[in-house]
């Protein structure tokens, strides 16, 4: 099982993604401060050409975001977005607005369970037939589940793109979900749960969500509890598909050597029958963020994994960009890395300097996790027991320094580093395709790298300091969360951390 930390150092959309592979790869709150600026999801009308039809589809509405990226909405509401980059290969996938957050306490884990079953055979293909066809095409199929999205995507030769779209249609709408496969995957997921429990960075982020978003679906783990895994049945899986896999919540994204009109034709043929609405009612439960403290002692473990975080912002909140820049200012540090510039850390960063000179931790990483209506902005670190509280203190001091004393030059350097990171993350058809799918679900449109760079350039150093102060330093606003696993018996509480910030500032 492969695991991916998508842009965690920038703006990850979940704390963990579980991945399924088939083919040639191994299996394995608040408002905003920048009210004068438009939400990042708002459309730049001058940069878009709106067409009421696309070749051969006179009733469909198409938006050209730029010379390469086009979006057509089918009659049932499913969006087809392509980015024609030329070449002989492509990445194509389905991004679905359905994940752990759309579950209940009774069926928590069903989205991930479904991901395991989706490649186990359909009414048209057995699992063996599917695997043979995929291997004969030289295609690689993958899937992952996050707290807000489920994704099925694949890489193929451009000439096989139609076959891949048809395969996705088949597994999405005709999966057998037979009892034998359900029972086999049940044991596989229980073993996976044991593996995850040994990944302390994953465990600590699950506990962060559990306590920061207590009594709301964002608190659920992706795998779900063992009791649910043992009780999930075919009826629950079918209900989840019927409720959440509706066309307006699905994006067919393609990048590489793809022709938009062809992809729209295939989408009409293979995905045009997906229902527009669900006969089953569902209301997305709002998040409930709260300050919290939690420590889990693990006997025999001498390294503590700790997360110190405050509430961040949603994807479309314009404060996201100052927080991304602030994220770069706090940066990441690892004892195995000999120079700060390798982690884009400023020489003014006192947190990194303390870690280097005083040996406070083995590593730390600032993160900015975003959801549709909230987020988390903080630092994860690994240290010995005696350095847990000193690390929290130094993190607090660094947040205050960034909010009150960071120089314009330092902030401009962080902006350049952020743009560099964003560009490097788009190195390949798969990365571009994933960005298209995520952006369409989070923002409702494609945001080019050029536009993102312009938005970063528009943010002033004063705005960065103001936003960081509001979310991470203002004692009237912040609600810290302190969560640790390992030797954390003496770890300070969230109230202690808030008082510490108040006293330092």
Active site residue 115: yes
| pLDDT for 60 beyond 90 | no
Name beta bridge partners: 333.
364
Q: What is the pLDDT averaged over residues 463-483? A: 96
Share of the chain above pLDDT 70, in %: 87
- Could you give the CA distance from residue 381 to residue 388 in angstroms, rounded to a whole number? 9
- Could you give the CA distance from residue 182 to residue 333 in angstroms, rounded to a whole number? 43
Q: How do residues 219-263 score in pLDDT, each as one tens digit?
A: 999 999 999 999 999 999 999 999 999 999 999 999 999 999 999
User: In this predicted structure, what is the pLDDT of residue 373?
Assistant: 95
More confident residue, 336 or 127: 127
User: In this predicted structure, what is the pLDDT of residue 389?
Assistant: 98
Closest-CA residue to 117 (of 280, 212, 233): 233
More confident residue, 5 or 57: 57
Q: Which residues contact 367 (CB under 8 A, 6 or more apart)?
A: 8, 9, 12, 309, 327, 376, 377, 378, 379, 380
Mean pLDDT, the chain, as a whole number? 89
**C-beta separation of 290 from 427 below 8 A:** no
Closest-CA residue to 361 (of 395, 326, 403): 395
Q: How do residues 477-492 score in pLDDT, each as one tens digit?
A: 899 999 999 999 999 9
Helices (H) and strands (E) in the chain, counts: 16, 15
Catalytic residue among 115, 148, 311, 435: 115
**C-beta separation of 219 from 73 below 8 A:** no
| pLDDT for 172 beyond 50 | yes
Residue in this structure with the two tokens 């995929």, named with its chain if needed: 134
Dihedral pair phi/psi, residue 163, rounded to 5°: -60, -40
Dihedral pair phi/psi, residue 260, rounded to 5°: -60, -50
- Could you give the CA distance from residue 146 to residue 19 in angstroms, rounded to a whole number? 10
Q: How do residues 345-396 score in pLDDT, each as one tens digit?
A: 678 899 999 999 999 999 999 999 999 999 999 999 999 999 999 999 999 9
- To 10 degrees, what angle do helices 179-197 and 110-117 make? 120
Helix (H, G, I), strand (E, B) or coil at 404: helix
Strands 250-256 and 79-84: parallel
CA terminus-to-terminus distance, the chain: 45
pTM (predicted TM-score): 0.88
Residue in this structure with the two tokens 């990441």, named with its chain if needed: 332
- Could you give the CA distance from residue 96 to residue 171 in angstroms, rounded to a whole number? 14
Question: How deeply is 407 buried, as exposed, middle or buried, from its count of CB atoms within 10 A (0-12, 13-18, 19+)?
Answer: exposed
- Could you give the CA distance from residue 479 to residue 464 in angstroms, rounded to a whole number? 20
**C-beta separation of 40 from 320 below 8 A:** yes
Q: How do residues 266-309 score in pLDDT, each as one tens digit?
A: 999 999 999 999 988 888 888 999 999 999 998 889 999 999 99
Question: How deeply is 171 buried, as exposed, middle or buried, from its count of CB atoms within 10 A (0-12, 13-18, 19+)?
Answer: buried
**C-beta separation of 444 from 42 below 8 A:** no
């Amino acid at each position: 099982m492969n695991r991916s930390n998508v842009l965690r150092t920038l703006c990850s959309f979940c704390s963990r993604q579980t991945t399924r592979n088939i083919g040639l790869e191994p299996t394995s709150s608040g408002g905003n401060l920048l009210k004068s600026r438009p939400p990042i999801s708002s459309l730049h009308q001058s940069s878009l050409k709106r067409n009421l039809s696309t070749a051969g589809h006179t009733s469909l509405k198409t938006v050209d975001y730029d010379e390469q990226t086009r979006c057509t909405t089918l009659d049932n509401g499913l969006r087809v977005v392509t980015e024609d980059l030329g070449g002989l290969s492509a990445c194509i996938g389905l991004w679905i607005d359905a994940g752990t957050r759309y579950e209940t306490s009774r069926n928590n884990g069903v989205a991930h369970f479904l991901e395991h079953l989706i490649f186990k055979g359909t009414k048209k293909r057995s699992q063996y037939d599917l695997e043979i066809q995929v291997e004969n095409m030289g295609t690689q199929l993958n899937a992952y589940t996050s707290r807000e999205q489920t994704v099925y995507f694949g890489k193929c030769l451009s000439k096989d793109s139609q076959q891949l779209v048809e395969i996705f249609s088949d597994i999405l709408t005709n999966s057998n979900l037979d009892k034998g496969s359900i029972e086999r995957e049940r044991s596989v997921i229980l073993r996976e749960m044991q593996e995850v429990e040994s990944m302390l960075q994953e465990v600590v982020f699950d506990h962060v969500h559990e306590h920061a978003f207590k009594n709301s679906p964002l608190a659920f783990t992706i795998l779900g509890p063992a009791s649910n895994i043992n009780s999930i049945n075919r009826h629950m899986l079918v209900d989840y598909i019927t409720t959440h896999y509706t066309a307006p919540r699905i994006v067919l994204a393609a990048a590489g050597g793809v022709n938009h009109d062809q992809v729209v034709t295939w989408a009409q043929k293979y995905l045009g029958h997906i229902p527009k609405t669900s006969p089953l009612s569902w209301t997305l439960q709002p998040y409930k963020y709260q300050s919290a403290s939690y420590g889990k002692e693990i006997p025999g473990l001498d390294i503590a994994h700790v997360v110190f975080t405050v509430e961040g912002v949603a994807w479309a909140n314009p404060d996201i960009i100052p927080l991304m820049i602030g994220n770069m200012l706090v940066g990441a540090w690892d004892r195995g890395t000999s120079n700060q510039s390798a982690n884009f850390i400023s020489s003014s960063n006192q947190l990194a300097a303390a870690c280097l000179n005083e040996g406070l931790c083995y590593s730390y990483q600032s993160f900015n996790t975003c959801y549709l209506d909230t987020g988390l902005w903080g630092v994860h670190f690994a240290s010995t027991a005696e350095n847990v509280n000193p690390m929290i203190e130094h993190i607090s001091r660094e947040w205050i320094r960034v909010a009150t004393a960071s120089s314009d030059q330092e902030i401009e350097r962080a902006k350049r580093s952020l743009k560099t990171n964003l560009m490097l993350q788009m190195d390949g058809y798969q990365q571009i395709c994933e960005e298209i799918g995520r952006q369409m679900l989070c923002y409702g449109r494609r945001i080019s790298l050029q536009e993102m760079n312009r938005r970063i350039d528009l943010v002033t150093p004063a705005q960065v300091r103001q936003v960081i102060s509001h979310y991470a330093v203002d004692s009237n606003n912040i609600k810290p969360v302190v969560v640790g696993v390992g030797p954390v018996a003496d770890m300070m509480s969230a109230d202690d951390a808030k008082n510490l910030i108040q006293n330092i500032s």
